[in-house]
Amino acid sequence: MTLIFRRRGVLASLLAITASPLAARAQTASGFNGDRVKSLAKARSLAPWRPLPRAAGPAAGLTYDEYRQVRFRRDRWLWAGQERGFSANFFAAAYSADELVDLNVVEDGAERPIPFDPGLFEMPAPVTAATAAGGGLTGYSGFRLLAPINQPDVWDEIGAFQGASYFRSLGQNQAYGLSARGLSIGTGKSGEEFPDFVAWWLERPAPGAASVVVHGLLDSPSCTGAYRFQVTPGPNTVFDITATLYPRATIDTVGVAPASSMFLFDLADPQDVRGAAHDYRSGVHDSDGLAIWTGDGRRLWRQLSNPTSLRLSQVPDTDPRGFGLVQRQRQFDAFGDLEARYDKRPSLWVEPITPFGPGAVFLLEIPTRLETDDNIACFWRPSASWAAGSEVSLAYRLHFGHEPHPAPFARVVRSRTGREKSQALFAVDFEGGGLDPSAVHATAAASSGQVLWSNVIAHAEPGVMRATFALKPAGAADLSLTLMGPDGVASETWMMPFEG
C-alpha cells in the first residue's frame, strides 16, 4: 500500500503538486469567471492522464536544510503595499517538493499567469550558483496565504497549499498541525491514488474584504476537478469549498473532505506502548479523537490510537451534520513539549453545506513509532460510486481551530487506560452538561469480553465527571460508553478499539 508520510512542522517535504501544460500559454491577461476552471477540468477529464514534469538538477538535489533556506523575498509578496487585508507568496519547486504548479492572479475579472522568477527568492549558495548558470530553480510548487490574524501589524500564515492536493490552516494563536486534502482515492487500500492540484488562480481581494478566494484545478488518473476556496480568517479560519468533479473512471473508494493527522501516544494507550519510547512527554499527537455529529443528532467521540497493525474503521451515516479530527487536550501538561506545542495544534471540523447522502465516515490508523509520520486519515465515503463521465458537485465548510457547534450535553475531554491482574481498566473524563454526578450512570458495552462494573464519580476539576469501568477481556473488542441522566442520553458516546 502506498502511504504518504510528511515531516511535521514544515511544508517543504509535502508530496509536491504536479505541473500542468497550462504553463505554456501566453503571458497575457484573459477573462476569468467562475466557470473557467470547471471548463478546464471537464476538458481535461476527456483526455488521458499524463504524469507531469518535475524540477531537475541542483534544485531537486537540495538537502532539507538547504531547502529551508529558499525563502520568498518579503518585499515581493503578492498585493504587498496595496492596503489589502491579505497577501501571498510562493514556494519554489525543489527538494522533495519538486513537482511544478501553475500560478495565476485574477484582478478586475482578468487572469494573468505569474511567470517564474528566481529573483523572487533568497537562496543558499549552491542554488544561487546554479541559477546564475541557468540550471537552478525553475518553477513554483505552491503558495501560502497571509493575513494579520493575531496582531494588526503582524502578517501570519493562514493557509499553505503545497504537495498533491494537501493544504493546511489554523485559528488564532495556534500552530500548524494536521492537513486537509482536496480529494483522496483508495485510502486504506492497496494502490492509493493521490490527486494533485496542478494549477491555481488567486483572486485579488477588495480593500477591507473579510475573505480571500482561490481556485484550484485538480487532476489524477481517475478524476479531475474544479475547486473554489473562500478563506475567512478568525478565531477559527473557515474554508468555504465548492467543487465539481469529473471522474475519468468509475470510482468506488473516493474520500470526500479528507484530513491527515498524527497520533503517537497519550494516556489512553497501554502503559507498555507509552513507556516503550522512554519519552519524557505525556502525550504526542496533533489530534486525539474523531468527533462525529450524525444525521440523526447523535454525538460520537472515537478515541484515536496508534495500533499494532493497520486499522480501517467506519461509522455509517446518512447526511452527517459534521465530523472532524479534533485536538481536545489544550493544557500544556497534557504534552510537556515546549518546542512542538501540541497543545496549540488546530482541530479540523467538516460541515456539509449540501447533503452528503448515505455513506460512512472512515478512519484510517497506521502503526508508527515516529512523530514525523502522518499516520491518521479521516474522510467521508459515499455509498454510491462515482460513475465515469459523470459530474459530481460538492459544497462543504472546513473549520480550522476549535470545534464549532458544541453539544448541549457532556463531552469527552480525555481517556485513560490501565490493567489490574486480569482486568482492563478505563477512565473517561467528561465536561459540560451541568449534571450532578450522583444523578447519572454510565452505560458501558464491549463487542467481546465482559464489562464487570461501571461507575461515575466527581472529578477534582470543576465541571468534570469521570466514568470508569472494568473489562474482562476475551480478545480484541470495540468499546463504548455513554452517560445516561434522568432525561435520557446525557453525553456524547465514547468509543475506543481494544486490542486485547
The second-level CATH assignment, the architecture, of 412-498 is Sandwich (2.60)
* pTM of the entire predicted model: 0.92
**What average pLDDT does this structure show over 486-496?**
95
pLDDT at residue 173 is higher than 70: yes
Strand partners, 325: 290, 348
Q: Residue 150: its pLDDT value, please?
A: 96
Confidence of residue 84 (pLDDT cuts 50, 70, 90): confident
pLDDT tens readout for residues 257-278: 999 999 999 988 765 555 555 7
Q: What is 269-332 written as a DSSP string?
A: S-HHHHHHTT-SSS-EES--EEEEE-TTS-EEEEE----SS-EEEEEEEES-SEEEEE-----G
- Cβ-based neighbours of 153, under 8 Å, separated by 6 or more: none
Mean pLDDT of the chain: 89
**Cα–Cα distance between 14 and 162 in angstroms, integer?**
7
Confidence of residue 129 (pLDDT cuts 50, 70, 90): low
The second-level CATH assignment, the architecture, of 1-406 is Distorted Sandwich (2.70)
Residue in the structure block whose three cell numbers are 447526511: 319
Domain ranges of the chain: 1-406, 412-498
pLDDT tens readout for residues 390-416: 999 999 999 999 999 988 899 999 999
Strand partners, 416: 427
Other CB atoms within 10 A of residue 345 CB: 25
**Cα–Cα distance between 498 and 477 in angstroms, integer?**
5
pLDDT tens readout for residues 312-368: 999 999 999 999 999 999 999 999 999 999 999 999 999 999 999 999 999 999 999
